[in-house]
Amino acid sequence: MENIELCHCKKVTYADVERVMHEATDLASVTAAFDEVQAVTHCSTGCGGCHDKIMDVISDILHY
């Protein structure tokens, strides 16, 4: 997948999300993975408009 910017407010890219997930300790669910990604990248803490897009990407990575 192309390294697109998912969170414009915090400049978080697909590669950033993927990197955090590879280093994460708790990937039991999409929600837990999102919490981990958000803690590291601060995505979806600005306007919040990227939340669903990031959840979709996390789900895709988990189920790939």
pTM score: 0.89
Q: Residue 1 has what pLDDT?
A: 62
Can you state the angle between helices 14-23 and 51-62, rounded to 10 degrees? 50
Looking at residue 2, its pLDDT comes to 77
- CATH T-level topology, domain 5-62: Arc Repressor Mutant, subunit A (1.10.10)
Instruction: Please tell me the predicted confidence (pLDDT) of residue 41.
Output: 97
pLDDT value at position 24? Answer: 84
Structural domain spans, the chain = 5-62
Instruction: Return the H-helix or E-strand segment holding 8.
Output: none
Per residue in 1-50, pLDDT (tens digit) is: 679 999 999 999 999 999 999 998 778 889 999 999 999 999 999 999 99
